[in-house]
Amino acid sequence: MNLVLAPDYAHYQDEIIRIIKNFHSEGTLIGPGSRNIVKSFSINGKKFNFKSFKQHNFINRHVYKYYRKSKARRSFEYAHMLIDKNLHTPQPIAYVEFHDWLGLTNSYYISEQLENIYTLEDVMYARSPFENLKEVIKEYTQLIYYLHEQGIEFIDNSPGNFLIKKINGAYRFFYGGP
């Protein structure tokens, strides 16, 4: 097992290991869990999301051990890069990788849980029109332009990866994808 924790969260190590050991039988499922599984867990009164990435075929298991960084590691590192560029993303806590002789078997990314949020997908495809849809789309467009100007390109730019939280009357976007 390879566990990497953000320095401010090193004191959660034992609890993170315990949760991962019990991941499939505990926690609150977020979303359908059809590809990757995201669950919410509480540790000492703080909520965290644990994202378990789907199992890879034997070729990709080898690739993700020897040639490419795991999705969990990239999520952790990209979150730190976004924060360093004064962009918003849920606080990265840790990533965990499990390997065997063939390659990567499992990986997890742990981040803070944001409360009272929408995804861009919720806003765009709501059953009833979202109250400030035009404002949200305008701010999203400005964000994508800003990211482009900063040389940041998100490969997985799907609406489910953008989290929206209303703070002091304004919408703030958080990138929540890998």
Question: What is the Cα–Cα distance from 42 to 47, expressed in whole angstroms?
Answer: 4
Q: What confidence score (pLDDT) does residue 2 get?
A: 96
Q: How do residues 24-42 score in pLDDT, each as one tens digit?
A: 999 999 887 778 999 999 9
What pLDDT is attached to residue 161? Answer: 84
For 34, phi and psi rounded to 5 degrees?
-80, -35
**Distance from first CA to last CA of the chain, Å, rounded?**
20
What's the pLDDT at 114? 92
CB atoms within 10 A of CB 86: 7
Q: Which pair of tokens denotes residue 157?
A: 């730019």
Q: How far is CA 15 from the centre of its chain?
A: 19
Q: What domains sit in the chain, N to C, each tagged with a CATH number?
A: 2-112 (3.30.200), 118-175 (no CATH)
Query: Could you give the CA distance from residue 126 to residue 131 in angstroms, rounded to a whole number?
Result: 10
Please write the tens of the pLDDT for every residue from 99-151. Answer: 999 999 999 999 999 998 888 888 888 767 788 888 888 988 998 888 888 88
For 153, the token pair is 């390109």
Residue-level pLDDT at 9? 96
> Coil, strand or helix: which one is 165?
strand
The predicted-structure confidence for 28-83, as pLDDT tens digits, reads as follows 998 877 789 999 999 999 999 999 998 888 899 999 999 999 999 999 999 999 99
Question: What's the DSSP call for residue 8?
Answer: G
